[in-house]
Structure 1
Amino acid sequence: MDYNLKGANLQSITSFNKVDRSTIGDLDFLELDGLTQGGEEITTKTFNQELRLSNTNTDTKFDWSLGGFYQNIKKDVYQNGTTGVDFGGPDAYDTADYVNETNTIALFGFGDYKITDKLTFSAGFRYDIDKFSQVDDLFVTSSERDNNEFQPKVSLSYQASKKVLLYANYGRGYRNGGYNADLTDLFNREFDDETSDNYEFGFKTTTWNDRLIFNGSVFSSKLTNQQQYILDLNTFIAGVYNYDETKVFGFEFETRARLTNYLDVFASFGSSDAEIVEGGTTGGTDGTTTDNSNYNGNKTPFVPVSTFGIGLESSFNITDSVKFNGFINLDTTGKTYYHESNLAKHTTDAYSLLDARIGFSYKNWKLDIWGKNLTDKQYYQEFSPGEFVGSPDDVAWRGRPLSIGTAISLRF
């Protein structure tokens, strides 16, 4: 809902979302009757309410917006597993049965000031007030934690010409912490909030009568208490732990060209160097912690060394009331380390996924037909090296195979 005020616009955005997820699958991917995820049932309910007041006066050098945000997330998780006869079973056991609830109240504001016709200074902030609770029926525990975090952002942009924009940004990132199902040798019962200080320098350009766009940037981030996921096979509990300090440096380029009135080609390339500066310690059911400082200087797991994408997109009117839109793109994920040890056997080579979508819109209706991983490429979405997680073999979860679907939407 929008309300026009004198010199400002008040906007209210309310949303509710519920997602039910049910999963069953193999865990060891062996021909043996070994480890199976007997079932995972996750129900997530999310309520959002945002109020935003924005400037509508265009005859000023200063533009601004401010507002407040409330979010409630309730996540109900149940997981179990089975051990087959080849692994000493059959046995069935619960691995997780808990409810997480997060309440967030946030205040935010942002402003632009035109120092000159070409130079603009921007600054903003977000202040989060988080309260997190967990009720665990499996381990019969109840926990609460809260945190307040101020996240500033500043930016300076320079319009060097009509076709070239230069900019520099600083922003603080934040991800709230929480609780694992239990203390294990690999992670603590509680994991900390993650924060990051992020710097970016870049440019945006257009040419060829604005039909060719070419952008690029260099970025650097310092992360404190970076959160990392792992599966502990000694307990069959998945959890999150923290690195004390990590850093990332990289660059990325993107381009888009309008070849005809109905066809665009686009491409992107990025490279990242992510490093563990101080791994710290975590876990320890018997008082002996896992010392991740042994991996200081190694690459951070699950951060691709490079990414590359290329694709085509088309949009045109079939009739006065029917419009077509579609795309096809190939995304390549580069070399990725699965563990802090950076051992070659726990590292994946680059792989590519081909996705496509065609859509038809008529008045307020839209029909989309999509396909993901059209070549049915096998890849891992999660991976836990057996020698580090208490398993005689590596345990992995394959990424989504070839999938095709459709979606119908109505705007009102």
Structure 2
Amino acid sequence: MCHWSTRYALRKVAVLLRLGQSAGRDFLVRVKRNKPMQWQSVFLGIAILFHSAWTAAESRPLPFNIPSQQADAALLLFGKQADISVVYQHKLVKTYQTNQLKGEFTPQEGIRILLRGSGLKAEFKSRAHLVITQNNQGNEMNSKKKILAATVGFFMGAGGSSLGLAEEVGSSEGMDWLLEEVVVTAQKREQRLIDVPISIATLDDEKLKNMGIDGIDKLVYAVPNLSIRSTSESEKRFVIRGVSNVRGSSALVGVYLDEIPVSLSPQYQPNLQMLDIQRVEVLRGPQGTLYGQGSTGGTVRLLTKDPSFDGINGEIGSSFYTTQDGDTSSEVSAITNIPVIDDTLAFRVAASYKDVGGWIDQPDANKEDINDVETSYIRIKGLWQASDDLMVSAMVLRTRDDAGAQGFGNIKDSQDNPFWRQVERNGLPLLSTEISTYSDIYNITLNYDLGFASLTSSTSKIEFGTDPFNSSSSVNQDPLSNSGLAVIGSFVDIGGFTQEIRLQGVTDNKQLDWVVGAFYSDIDSEVGAEDFGFYVEGAGGSFGSFDERETSESIALFASVDYHLSQQLTLTVGARYFEDDRAINGNFYAAEKSATFDHVSPTIGASFALSNDASVYVRIAEGFRSGGFNSLPDAENYQPETVRTYEVGTKALMLEGRLQAEAALFYSQYEDIQASDPSQRLPTRVVVINPGEAEMQGVEWSAQFSVSEHFSVGFSGHYMDTEFVKVSTVSNNDVGDPIDYAPKYSVAFSTRFDFEGPLNSAGFTALDYNVQDGSVETASNNRRAESDTLTHINMRLGLNWESFTAELFGRNLTNEQDFNNPTNFNSYKQDRPRTWGVNVAYKF
């Protein structure tokens, strides 16, 4: 059965004629004439991207009003309202039930919502031709019926070569190699990536596997202007556009697991595994309106796969690898989807165990490869469809890590190889270097359809930290000497409760998409040590214990509105009011310190649809972080900081789905930066100051090109310039200095080649190349430590069968061992040396 309209062909002809006018040429001339020379080539490249996008066929979001009903009737209405041809077998689909579709969507968005969970799947064979089949391969239509349906659909609605289209429809793999439209939830609702006026990097589960990204640290290989450096499984530093989680009152880059904000501290986060992840979204620039003060620099979102009602299925995987000059490693994982009640209740379990070998030695104790770590991880996710209007999801996550030592060296030998030195203490045995961390996360999320809007409630409890461990810092860098600070029984305990409630909807006239909400958090963090002291050649004394507890109780109200001025132009306006009550106490404080910080973070932007497959946007957004307290008696408390960013960007899907490209220019004003002051450093604590104001400006780009069915390439990167433009009287910086921890550039190149393998397998080979510039860390008297530029090459070679995959891989093939973090405090962190290994996986 097929529905179509002759207006389709006439409309396309009119579009092509209109796009042939001089708008593109005039745009290029204006860009060249008005922009400064240093950005002229960048703007020219983006303008060419805009101009190419004008040639794409035009399609706009359309109003739909289709009630939940039998699929045959719903598809007939869909074809009429979308003005496209829909091909399906009446007897096949009439037994299925579809969802309600009400609102303004593109045809791609609409059909996905209409058929979600129905057991049917949709394939666009062209922009005006849609084929519906069963989602179950065991009950697919006979191929002859597919060809007949496609032929009828072709003559009635598509045009062109009937043989070519029939062959495509008869084989659902005909155009699978083309890039698919990306859908994200960055603005708390489903939208096409092209329609979101934010610079976003996305990686779906397939791309994560193709690039071998099995840890959150490895996102830097695929995401421009993102830097992540870790010293342990739960201590990581995220940097987006020069804004980093290092010192200060709270996180600057927000990390979310589904609806759960897990970045409760500037340095410490739960150990999240990249297992059974549906999609990763990295939002660059301030996200203060929808994500709050923890997302001043940007937001990293890990979206896990939901349970499914479609039957028991899962995957079992294992890997083994060896590291140059280090120990061997092994990992096992299992994923299982378990429906319990048909279309009502299901669970999904993802679990893994890792025994990862180290490569850093401790010569004083005659130990090798001490930075090994064992990690056990389990995540259970439940989904309850309580009624047609109410859906409840719940998650429980538990992670335990047992490491032989922290993941860095504190001293170097004569060849600059890092090793670990534990400080000797008055003839006592050397302290153990072992460290154990824990993470526990609980969440329940409710989604209720109120008719006029949808209500979402997300309640989370998070606990993570370390068991008591020992460390040595400020170690004398002479390998023949043993002196430094010994810290005994250090611990970190962080807990938090968060609650978010929001309403989102669309007005009856379809002109406004809106979201309003409230957020509450109660965070309690405690750090301390049983004892610490300074020793020289084994002789010295103790300073005693220390303990510090900080609390934060905050509330926020937020709202965001998208006003569709026309089918092409959308204006976005939003704001968030935030209030934070903070307090701190401890044995370094004469009395408790407390203060209240509040701020309004606005966002305004506009996006213009050049076509259904291309857009341009502008955005102004602001992020905020509360001030805080110092324990040194003479040290002043530090003030809140803000980041305001001005951004223009473009996104496009071109060449009939072969090329996906994105680029953005940004300029940021960073006021009252929070940074450490090494000149006032305590033996166990760092004093935080406001050294001044800085400016950051740069460009980010990414492109993915499917050259053919068997070969694809990707190219991405960033360039950024940062400098202090004003310094305070307590600053260790000068005007013109770069800000800390901000790599100036990164470049990434990836390729994948698919081929016909032996034994009826599908083979593939992939190569990834990544270069990231070093960064600086400021010390007293304007001294700066600098890290090196790092170059990584990774490769994979594998064979896929229907249910089984085997893969050989090599990581860090250049054996890059330069330090990836600048340090004035003698902590030398490396990426894992050259590694070779094998992965196997079985799906059921």
Q: TM-score range by the shorter chain?
A: 0.7 to 0.9
After the TM superposition, which residues 259-338 of structure 1 pair with which residues of structure 2 at under 5 Å, given as runs? 265-282=713-730, 291-292=731-732, 295-311=734-750, 331-338=770-777
Q: Any conservation in 2 of the 1:352–1:377 contact (CA below 8 Å)?
A: no
Amino acid at match of 2:651: K
The answer on 1:33 being equivalent to 2:472 is no
Task: Kindly provide the amino acid, as one letter, of the partner of residue 511 in structure 2.
Answer: K
- Is 1:396–2:836 an aligned residue pair? no
Do the aligned partners of residues 93 and 100 (structure 1) sit closer, same or farther apart at CA in structure 2, a change above 3 Å counting? Answer: same
Kindly provide the CA deviation profile for residues 298-331 of structure 1, in whole angstroms up to 9, marking residues without a partner as x. 222222211233456899xxxxxxxxxx998655
- Aligned-partner Cα distance in 1 for 2:707–2:691: 46
Q: Which amino acid aligns with 2:611?
A: S
> Which residue pairs with 1:85 in the alignment?
536
Say if 2:829 is the partner of 1:377.
Answer: no
Query: Quick one: which of 218, 239, 263 aligns to 2:687?
Result: 239
- Equivalents in 2 of 1:253, 1:307: separation in Å? 10
In the TM superposition, what are the counterparts of 1:100-249 in structure 2 within 5 Å?
100-183=550-633, 188-232=635-679, 235-236=682-683, 237-249=685-697
Distance change (3 Å), C-alpha of 1:312 and 1:58: farther
CA contact (8 A) 2:548 2:584 kept: yes
Separation of aligned partners in 2, 1:199 and 1:74:
34
Give the 3 Å change call, closer, same or farther, for CA 235–25 of structure 1 in structure 2: closer
Give the distance between the partners of 2:474 and 2:779, measured in 1 at CA: 21
Q: Which amino acid aligns with 2:776?
A: Y
Q: Which residue, out of 521, 537, 541, partners 1:71? A: 521
Change (3 A) 1:61 1:132: same
How far apart are 1:355 and its partner, in Å?
8.0
1:170/1:45 Cα in 2 relative to 1: closer, same or farther (>3 Å)? same
* Corresponding residue of 1:364: none
Measure the CA separation in 2 of the matches of 1:356 and 1:239: 43
More strand by share: 1
User: What whole-Å deviation, never above 9, does each CA across 1:130-169 have from its counterpart, x for those lacking one?
Assistant: 1110011233431001111000000111112233211100
- Superposed CA deviations along residues 279-315 of structure 1, whole A, max 9, x for unmatched, are 1023xxxxxxxx54x6122222222211233456899
Structure 1 match to 2:294: none
CA distance 1:119–1:100, shift in 2 (3 Å): same
Supply the AA of the counterpart residue of 1:244: G
- The answer on whether the counterparts of 2:639 and 2:690 sit within 8 Å (CA) in structure 1 is yes
Structure 1, unpaired ranges of 5+: 283-290, 316-325, 358-369, 385-394, 405-412
| Matched positions, count | 364
Whether contact under 8 Å (1:298, 1:341) holds in the other structure is: no
Residues 381 and 349 of structure 1: CA distance in aligned 2, closer, same or farther (over 3 Å)? closer
Query: Which of 785, 789, 802 is equivalent to 1:350?
Result: 789
Summarize deviations over 1:55-89 as a string: whole Å, max 9, x none: 05675011100000001111101156443324x84
1:51, distance to aligned residue in structure 2 (A): 0.1
Whether the 8 Å CA contact 1:109–1:126 is kept in 2: the answer is yes
Are the counterparts in 1 of residues 775 and 788 from structure 2 also a CA contact under 8 Å?
Answer: yes
Quick check: 2:791–2:816 contact (8 Å CA) kept in 1? no
Tell me by how many angstroms 1:190 deviates. 1.1
Please state how far the C-alpha of 1:119 moved relative to its aligned partner: 0.9
CA distance in structure 2 between the aligned counterparts of 1:176 and 1:54, rounded to whole angstroms: 28
With over 3 angstroms needed to count, the CA separation of the structure-2 counterparts of 1:20 and 1:98, relative to structure 1, is same
Deviations 1:236-290 (A, max 9, x none): 23122112321111111112335677986544211111111111023xxxxxxxx
The change in CA–CA distance for 1:378 and 1:73 in structure 2 (over 3 A counts) is: farther
Query: 1:378, 1:398 within 8 Å by CA — same for their partners in 2?
Result: no
CA root-mean-square deviation = 3.7
Distance across 2 between alignment mates of 1:242 and 1:26: 25
SS across alignment from 1:209 = helix
Whole-Å separation in 2 of the counterparts to 1:81 and 1:350: 36
- State the TM-score, normalized to the length of structure 2: 0.39
- Identify the residue that residue 461 of structure 2 maps to in structure 1: 16
The structure 2 residue matched to 1:51, chosen from 485, 488, 501, is 501
Letter in 2 for 1:35: G
Q: In the superposition, relative to structure 1, how do residues 140 and 344 fare at CA in structure 2: closer, same or farther (>3 Å)? A: closer
Cα separation, partners in 2 of 1:305 and 1:103, compared to 1, 3 Å: same
For 1:93 and 1:264, locate their aligned partners in 2 and report how far apart those are by CA, in whole Å: 60
How far off its partner does 1:35 sit? 1.9
Q: Between the two proteins, what is the percent identity of the paired residues?
A: 21
Task: List per-residue Cα deviations over 1:106-132 (Å, max 9, x = no partner).
Answer: 000111011111111001111101111
1:298 and 1:340 in contact (8 A); partners too: no
8 Å CA contact 1:232–1:238 kept in 2: the answer is no
Residue by residue over 1:22-56, the C-alpha shift from the partner in whole angstroms, topping out at 9 and shown as x without a partner, is: 56344435422122452531111121100010105
Say if 1:179 and 1:261 are closer, same or farther in 2 by CA, change over 3 A. farther
Q: Tell me which structure has the larger Cα radius of gyration.
A: 2
Q: Give the Cα–Cα distance (whole angstroms) in 1 for the partners of residues 681 and 452 of structure 2.
A: 62
- Deviation of residue 5 (structure 1)? 0.4
Q: Could you tell me which runs of 5 or more consecutive residues in structure 2 were left unpaired when the two chains were aligned.
A: 1-445, 755-764, 797-808, 836-844
Return the offset for 1:346.
2.8
Take 2:658 and 2:540, find their aligned partners in 1: how far apart are those partners? Answer: 63
Assess if the C-alpha contact under 8 Å between 2:775 and 2:822 holds in 1: no
* Distance in 2 of aligned mates of 1:354 and 1:3: 47
The amino acid across from 2:823 in the alignment is: F
**SS state of the match for residue 107, structure 1?**
strand
Aligned mates of 2:550, 2:810 — CA distance in 1? 33
- Amino acid corresponding to residue 196 of structure 1 in structure 2: V
In structure 2, the residue corresponding to 1:295 is in which secondary structure? Answer: coil
Q: Is the 8 A contact 1:171 1:199 kept in 2?
A: yes
